[in-house]
A and B are shown apart, each in its own frame.
Chain A
Amino acid sequence: MVNKDLIPKYWYNIIPDLPKPLPPPRDPPDAEFSRIELLKKILPREVLRQQFTIERFIKIPEEVRDRYAIIGRPTPLMRAKRLEEYLDTPAKIYFKFEGATPTGSHKINTAIPQAYFAAEEGISHVVTETGAGQWGTAVALAASMYDLSSTIFMVRVSYEQKPMRKTIMELYGGKVYASPTDLTEFGRKILKENPNHPGSLGIAMSEAIEFALNHNFRYLVGSVLDVVLLHQSVIGMEAIAQLDELGEEPDILIGCVGGGSNFGGFTYPFIGAKKGKKYIAVGAAEIPKFSTGKYEYDYPDTAGLLPLVKMITLGKDYVPPPIYAGGLRYHGVAPTLSLLIKEKIVEWREYKEEEIYEAAKIFMKTQGIVPAPESAHAIKAVIDEALKAKTEKERRVIVFNLSGHGLLDLGNYESIRRRVEK
């Protein structure tokens, strides 16, 4: 039985507590149209309002808290006792299990309020993109909760590798297309240049936005923007309360980073409350945002329909290596997280596919849960930190966010296994 009292009453926004100003979204020089103006037609009104009405705490509508309860919030905070024993570490390891929601990831935490706000506004149809399918699934479920139609542009390479994700989205009532499609001008342009283009999140995002604009639907945003990290703060707020109940003070907080939403949602309430000593953001070495990305104004989407935001980025036209199966393929890092990394408040790590594969196997062997390949990046950092605590003989408390389960990513593991265990 879920106790609704444990679901936070407020979302937390870290911006008022950042060490430096967050450079605001802006229009490019000599723009032929204003992207900021266009946002009014792209996002549901209340989503846009929350993006720009920056306050430390924002009340969560009761209706949204009820839905959070229905999907199983608060998610469990679990101790990885067997993993500790396996590593023979003096560290205590806890994880917040976001894979416990029906869609299998944290993404639902923002899909629900966004769909709710869209429905309240009288919108009948929402559109978005998805890579691995976690976000697409979350939107399809959230849309069905509020009787909205949903259209999802899925990165082609994932569409082909992950037919099961497509099935779930369709079972929830979503309509799924492999991007680049010929349904949008931008998709047709990409296909003209390369009919076999594998797609990218940036391209799928542009297609979803264009499609929404053409039909006067609304677009739901799955990561990067502050409003998404605001909604995701339920993860960290719950984790703080759950650790308090156990009488634990966390030392190290770890999360993986695609666009940055599960990481921000998990760690920001800790950072804001000055809880924890070290925060580690983990990315993929194959999509080397942290090690080779630049901190500059760039578009979140490839067509450049959204305003420029200042972030660590590999460039809006970046196309990830198609063979790679570890997730976290987005080209940029949320502006708040980029700033925290530049200010050295958050540390970063990058791991290779074969490293996260081994970490996932250790986690499965000891704890039983199949982690999402994305989350296995966090697990790898957890293992490294636990072993470091052993060398340094320190009883550290490590808490990480297990952002999703990997039951629909077995194809990815199969693909990595074929390459790693030749």
Chain B
Amino acid sequence: MKRMLVTYMTLGYPNLESFYQFIEKSVELGTDILEIGLPPKYAKYDGPVIRKSYKAVTSWLKDYITPLKEVRKKVNIPIIILTYLEDYLSNLDNFLTTLHEIGIDGVLFPDLLIDFIDEYEEYVSKIKGKGVKTVLFTGPSLPDNLIIKASRISDIFLYYGVRPTTGIIIPVSVDSLITRVRNLVQNKLVVGFGLNDFNDLRKALSAGADGVAIGTAFIEEIEKNGIQSALQLVKTIRGILDEYS
């Protein structure tokens, strides 16, 4: 089975033109699913790199609708919006309706199972009711029972973040963490958070991950060496994933 490459990018980063270019080309190079980040008020589980990318776009990015429509036109793979539920509590219906109208496939709220655990099932039905898929976000600090339940209702795949924060390479045993949950997850298991280390990436795939989600590594690469270099990284990672097909 082909392993999935889930590519994350902050909406509009570093500027609209380069953003579209990165997205389009990364799909050509083998991205299976796009995760697009909408700058939140508080990026609770994001490390400095993604936080900085949010800051970089918020000064000029006034409207998320136009660029998302544009991305939808350009690519035909599933697009998932990543943002924090906390910011949309008062206008969730509108937000979901808009996403649905644009043709966005799904949403991923990293704080749903952590800060809204008592109502998460209601939120999941609400989101699905609006015709938007729900990708559930889990991690090692979730109990096994909940990972089992979440894996059954998560759309497209179940996201499992192996570290507390994106982009910061806290030492963890990626293989042990995946082994713990592999049999609990009745779904495609996509692993993320700090997997730009190729050793960790391979460990995740060997331990049974159906895919990986990469974000910070691309943003860092864009920052340091530009879009082309970041696209080269997409290609490299695609190559590693294909070794495990």
Contacts and interface: CB of A to CB of B under 8 A. Distances in A.
A308 B171 CA distance: 19
Number of chain B interface residues as a range? 20 to 34
7 contacts: A18-B143, A20-B143, A29-B41, A34-B165, A52-B164, A53-B177, A307-B164
A23 interface: yes
A233 B240 CA distance: 40
Given A21-B141, A26-B165, A29-B43, 5 more contacts: A21-B146, A34-B168, A53-B177, A55-B176, A55-B177
Contacts of A36: 47, 164-165, 168, 170
A53 B162 CA distance: 8
Interface stretch (A37-45, A64-72, A165-173, A353-361): A37-45
Most buried by A among B146, B163, B165: B165
Interface string B106-125: 00000001110100000000
Contacts of A20: 117, 143, 146
Nearest to B146: A21
B143 A24 contact: no
A25 interface: yes
B164 A26 contact: yes
B44 interface: yes
**Chain A interface, DSSP helix/strand/loop, else mixed:** loop
A54 interface: yes
A213 interface: no
B176 A53 contact: yes
Interface of A: 15-27, 29, 33-34, 36-37, 39-40, 45-46, 48-49, 52-56, 307
Contacts of A45: 171
Contact of A24 (B41, B43, B45): B45
A37 B171 CA distance: 11
Nearest to A34: B48
A23 B114 contact: yes
Contact of B170 (A15, A17, A48): A48
Interface string B26-42: 00000000000000011
B170 A52 contact: yes
